[in-house]
C-alpha cells in the first residue's frame, strides 16, 4: 500500500511538471492581455466580471471537459489527438465516407499542434523575460536577445534527452505553483471581497451587459487555458488519477488564487495593468521571480517539444509523414526520443515568431486560433467516440458534448478576429504541415497502386522458380515488401544478377495500425509457402518502437533460425518519377518525390543491423 502511495505521489509530482507547466505560466500574460486590449473599461464591476469569466473558463474547459470527460476516452491507456482520432475512426469504420472525413479533420488538428508548438514557447519565455522591464526599463533592449539565447539553449540540449533534468521539472513547477498561490493570497487578504467573483452571476452579468466586448475579449481569455490539450496528450505517461489529483489539489487552486490576487491588486492600483503579475511581487523578490518564471516557462516549453517528437513519431507510423531520423535518448525509457529535423525546424519557426512579433502582447494576437480549433476538433471527435464507440444514446451524446462545442466555437470565433493581427502565423504553419501530410499519404497510395498493378503473384512465381531452382546458399534472406503476396523488386534483382536463393527466405510486410500498442503475442502473422519460404506480416501500433530483427525471432518455432551473422535484409529503394496525367497535381507529385527521396532509410526505422542490409533501387512513375 505504501509503495503504491509513493508511486501515486511521484506520478502526481511528474504530472505537475509536465502536464501543467504550460497552463501554469499563463498567469504571466492572460489578465494583462484582457485589460491591456483597451476593449474593457476599467471599473471594479468589470474586474469582478472578467475574473469570474476566467474562473468559469478554467472550470468548464479544463475541470469538466478535459479532466472529467475527455480523460475517459483513453485508447488502451493512451491519450492525445492521435489516440482520439484512432478511437473515432475505429468507431465509424463501417461508415467509410464519415471515417475519411474524420481522419481529415483529425490530421488537420494534429497539424495545428505544430503551430501551437511554435507560439507557446515563444510567448511563454518572452513574457517571463519581460519581467526584467519591471525591474528596470533599461533592460528592455536585452529582452529579445536573452529570450533567443534561452530558447537556443533549450533546443540545443534536446539531443541529450530529458531523463537527467526531467526529475527536476515536477519540484520546480510545484515551487512555481506555491509561489503563485502565495503571491495571490498576499493581495487577496487586503481585498477579500474579490473572492465574490467566484459566483457565476458576475460572469453572466458582464456578458449580458457587454455582449460585444465579451465576444472580443474571449480571444484573450483563452490564454488562461493554454496547454489544456496536454492534459489528454500525457495520459499515457501518468495515468488519469495523478493528472486529476495534480489539477484539483495543486494547479487549479494556485491558478485561481493568483488570478484573484491580480484582480485584488488592480482594485487597489489600476496602473498595475501594465504587468499585474510581476507588480504583485515586492521589489526585493522581482529578480528571483523573473528567474523562477523563466525556469517555469522553459519547463513548459520542454513538455511541448517532447510532445512534438512523440506526435511526429506517431504520425510517421500512421503513414502521414515520411520516415525521419529518430534517436533514442534513454536506454530504459523507449518513449524518450529526439528527432533532429523536428527540433531545429521548431527552433527556426520560434525564432521567426519572436523576431517578427517582438513582445508577448503581439504574440498573444497570434495565439488562440490554432489551440481553439484543436479544442473544437477534440470535442467533435469525442462525440463520435461516445456515440458510435461507446454506443451511448444520441440525446446523451449531444448533451455531453453540445455545451463544450458551443463554448469552443465561441472561443474560436472570437480568435478569428485576430486573424490578420497574427493569427495567420500558426494557421500558415499548420496548413503547410497538413499539405505535407496529405501529399505524403496520397502519394503513398498512388505508389502502392502502381506497385500492385505491376506486381507478380508470389506463390505462382515461387512455383515457377522451383521447377528449375537456382543454387541455394547458406543463411537467410529477409525481403521487405509493401504488399503481402507480391514479389519484391529486390528479389527479382537478386535472382537476375546473383542467380542464387538463400536457404531460408522471408517475405516481410510491416503494417502500422490505428491502435497505440500491439503486444508481442499478436506481432506476427506467418504463412508457410514451402521450400523454406515464409510470408510474414509484422504488426505495430502507432506507439510501438519498430524492431524487425526482434520481431522475427518468433519465427524460430517454425524451423527458421535467423542467425545475425548469416541473415541479409533486402530492401527496394524506389526512386519516384512524377508524370503528367492522373494522380495528384504536378507540384504535389514533385513534392512527394522530394519527400520520398529525403526520407530516412527503412533500415534505421526498422532497427536493422547496418552490416546486413542490401538495398536495390528501381524507378517508379506515378
pLDDT digits (tens, 9 = 90+) for 194-234: 999 999 999 999 999 999 999 999 988 999 998 887 788 88
In the predicted structure, residue 3 carries a pLDDT above the cut 60: no
pLDDT at 285 exceeding the cut of 60: yes
Q: Are 125 and 118 in contact (CB under 8 A)?
A: no
The answer to whether residue 468 scores a pLDDT higher than 80 is: yes
pLDDT confidence bin for 162, thresholds 50/70/90: low
For 10-34, what is the mean pLDDT?
90
pLDDT reading at 105 higher than 60: yes
- DSSP codes, 36-87: HTS-S---HHHHHHHHHHHHHHIIIIIIIIIIIIGGG--BTTB-SHHHHHHH
pLDDT at 38: 75
Give Cα separations from 343 to 151, 174, 197, 346, 502 (angstroms). 11, 27, 42, 5, 42
**Range 160-168 average pLDDT:** 69
Residue 281 has pLDDT above 90, yes or no: yes
Query: What pLDDT, in 10s, does the model give residues 251-280?
Result: 999 999 999 999 999 999 998 888 999 999
Residue 573 burial by Cβ neighbours in a 10 Å radius (0-12, 13-18, 19+): middle
pLDDT at 400: 86
pLDDT at 539: 94
- Residues 553 and 557: their CA atoms lie apart, in Å, by 9
When comparing pLDDT for 453 and 385, which is higher? 385
Q: Which CATH number fits domain 2-365: 3.40.720, 1.20.1740, 2.60.120, 1.20.120?
A: 1.20.1740
- pLDDT of 186 > 90? The answer is yes
For 464-499, strand residue ranges (E) read: 471-480
Percent of the chain beyond pLDDT 70?
Answer: 97
Q: What pLDDT is attached to residue 290?
A: 94
Percent of the chain with pLDDT over 90: 47
E strand or H helix at 617: strand 613-621
Quick check: 306 pLDDT over 50? yes
For the chain, the structural domain boundaries read 2-365, 450-621
Neighbours of 338 (CB within 10 A): 20
* pLDDT on residue 408: 93
Q: How far separated are the first and last CA of the chain, in Å rounded?
A: 61
Please, which residues bridge with residue 530 across strands?
533
In the block, cell 492525445 appears at 80
Residue pLDDT, tens place only, 126-143: 999 999 988 888 888 999
Work out the average pLDDT over 159-168. Answer: 70
pLDDT for 304 beyond 80: yes
Among 172-176, 324-328, 390-394, the range scoring the smallest mean pLDDT is 324-328
Sign of the alpha-carbon dihedral angle for 386, 390, 393, 396: negative
pLDDT score, position 334: 56
Taken as a whole, the chain contains a residue count of: 622
Measure the CA–CA gap between 342 and 346, rounded to whole angstroms.
6
Most confident of 293-297, 359-363, 364-368: 293-297
Other CB atoms within a 10 A radius of the CB of residue 337 amount to 20
pLDDT at 251: 95
pLDDT of residue 166: 67
Residues 6+ apart with CB under 8 A from 595: 322, 436, 439, 440, 443
Report the alpha-carbon distance of residue 333 to residue 338 in Å, rounded: 12
State the chain's mean pLDDT as an integer: 88
Dist. CA 601–CA 510, nearest whole Å? 14
What is the reported pLDDT for 397? 92
Q: Is the pLDDT of residue 512 over 50?
A: yes
Confidence grade of residue 338 (pLDDT, cut at 50, 70, 90): confident
State residue 231's pLDDT score: 80
Of the candidates 332, 300, 262, 349, the residue with the CA atom closest to the CA atom of residue 55: 262
CA distances from 233 to 339, 385, 432 (A): 19, 16, 23
Q: How far apart are CA 281 and CA 284, in angstroms?
A: 8
Residue 383, C-alpha cell as written in the block:
462525440
Helix (H/G/I), strand (E/B), else coil: 422:
coil
Question: Residue for cell digits 509513493?
Answer: 6
Question: Sorting pLDDT into bands at 50, 70 and 90, what band is 1?
Answer: very low
Going by C-alpha positions, the residue among 599, 132, 606, 85 that lies closest to residue 324 is 599
Question: Cell numbers at residue 323, please?
Answer: 520516415
Within 8 A by CB and 6+ apart from 138, the residues are none
pLDDT in tens, 483-501: 888 888 888 888 888 888 9
State the CB neighbour count (10 A cutoff) for residue 304: 25
Amino acid at each position: 500500500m505504501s509503495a503504491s502511495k509513493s508511486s501515486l505521489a511521484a506520478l502526481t509530482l511528474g504530472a505537475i511538471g509536465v502536464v501543467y507547466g504550460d497552463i501554469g505560466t499563463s498567469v504571466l500574460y492572460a489578465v494583462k492581455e484582457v485589460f491591456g486590449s483597451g476593449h474593457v473599461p476599467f471599473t471594479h464591476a468589470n474586474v469582478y466580471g472578467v475574473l469570474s469569466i476566467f474562473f468559469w473558463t478554467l472550470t468548464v474547459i479544463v475541470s469538466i471537459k478535459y479532466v472529467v470527460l475527455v480523460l475517459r476516452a483513453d485508447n488502451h491507456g493512451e491519450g492525445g489527438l492521435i489516440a482520439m482520432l484512432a478511437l473515432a475512426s475505429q468507431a465509424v469504420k463501417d461508415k467509410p465516407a464519415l471515417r475519411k472525413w474524420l481522419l481529415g479533420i483529425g490530421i488537420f488538428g494534429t497539424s495545428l499542434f505544430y503551430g501551437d508548438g511554435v507560439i507557446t514557447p515563444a510567448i511563454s519565455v518572452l513574457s517571463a523575460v519581460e519581467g526584467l522591464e519591471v525591474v528596470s526599463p533599461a533592460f528592455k533592449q536585452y529582452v529579445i536577445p536573452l529570450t533567443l539565447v534561452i530558447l537556443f539553449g533549450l533546443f540545443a540540449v534536446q539531443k541529450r534527452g530529458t531523463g537527467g533534468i526531467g526529475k527536476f521539472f515536477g519540484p520546480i513547477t510545484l515551487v512555481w505553483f506555491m509561489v503563485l498561490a502565495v503571491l495571490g493570497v498576499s493581495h487577496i487578504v487586503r481585498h477579500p471581497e474579490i473572492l465574490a467573483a467566484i459566483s457565476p452571476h458576475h460572469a453572466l452579468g458582464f456578458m449580458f451587459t457587454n455582449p460585444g466586448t465579451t465576444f472580443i475579449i474571449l480571444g484573450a481569455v483563452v490564454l488562461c487555458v493554454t496547454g489544456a490539450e496536454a492534459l489528454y496528450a500525457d495520459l499515457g505517461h501518468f495515468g488519469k488519477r495523478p493528472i486529476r489529483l495534480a489539477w484539483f489539489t495543486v494547479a487549479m487552486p494556485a491558478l485561481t488564487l493568483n488570478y484573484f490576487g491580480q484582480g485584488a491588486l488592480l482594485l487597489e492600483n489600476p496602473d498595475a495593468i501594465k504587468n499585474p503579475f510581476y507588480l504583485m511581487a515586492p521589489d526585493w523578490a522581482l529578480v528571483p521571480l523573473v528567474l523562477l518564471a523563466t525556469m517555469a516557462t522553459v519547463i513548459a516549453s520542454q513538455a511541448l517539444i517532447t510532445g512534438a517528437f512523440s506526435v511526429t513519431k506517431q504520425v510517421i507510423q500512421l503513414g502521414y509523414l515520411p520516415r525521419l531520423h529518430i534517436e533514442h535518448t534513454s536506454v530504459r525509457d523507449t518513449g524518450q526520443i529526439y528527432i533532429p529535423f523536428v527540433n531545429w525546424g521548431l527552433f527556426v519557426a520560434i525564432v521567426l515568431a519572436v523576431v517578427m512579433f517582438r513582445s508577448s502582447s503581439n504574440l498573444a494576437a497570434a495565439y488562440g486560433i490554432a489551440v481553439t480549433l484543436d479544442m473544437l476538433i477534440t470535442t467533435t471527435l469525442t462525440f463520435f467516440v461516445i456515440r458510435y464507440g461507446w454506443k451511448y444514446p444520441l440525446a446523451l451524446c449531444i448533451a455531453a458534448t453540445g455545451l463544450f462545442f458551443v463554448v469552443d466555437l465561441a472561443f474560436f470565433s472570437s480568435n478569428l478576429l485576430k486573424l490578420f493581427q497574427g493569427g495567420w502565423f500558426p494557421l500558415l504553419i499548420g496548413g503547410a504541415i497538413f499539405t505535407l501530410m496529405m501529399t505524403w499519404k496520397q502519394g503513398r497510395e498512388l505508389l502502392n497502386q502502381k506497385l500492385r498493378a505491376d506486381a507478380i503473384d508470389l506463390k505462382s512465381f515461387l512455383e515457377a522458380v522451383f521447377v528449375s531452382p537456382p543454387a541455394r546458399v547458406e543463411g537467410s534472406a529477409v525481403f521487405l515488401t509493401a504488399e503481402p503476396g507480391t514479389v519484391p523488386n529486390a528479389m527479382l534483382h537478386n535472382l537476375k544478377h546473383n542467380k542464387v536463393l538463400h536457404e531460408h527466405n522471408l517475405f516481410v510486410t510491416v503494417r502500422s495500425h490505428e491502435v497505440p500498442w500491439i503486444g508481442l503475442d499478436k506481432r506476427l502473422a506467418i504463412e508457410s509457402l514451402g521450400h523454406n519460404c515464409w510470408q510474414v506480416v509484422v504488426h505495430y501500433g502507432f506507439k510501438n518502437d519498430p524492431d524487425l530483427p526482434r520481431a522475427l525471432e518468433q519465427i524460430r518455432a517454425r524451423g527458421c533460425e535467423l542467425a545475425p551473422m548469416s541473415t541479409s535484409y533486402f530492401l527496394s529503394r524506389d526512386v519516384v518519377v512524377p508524370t503528367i496525367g492522373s494522380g495528384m497535381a504536378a507540384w504535389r507529385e514533385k513534392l512527394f518525390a522530394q519527400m520520398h527521396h529525403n526520407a530516412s532509410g527503412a533500415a534505421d526505422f526498422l532497427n536493422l543491423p547496418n552490416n546486413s542490409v542490401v538495398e536495390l533501387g528501381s524507378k517508379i512513375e506515378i
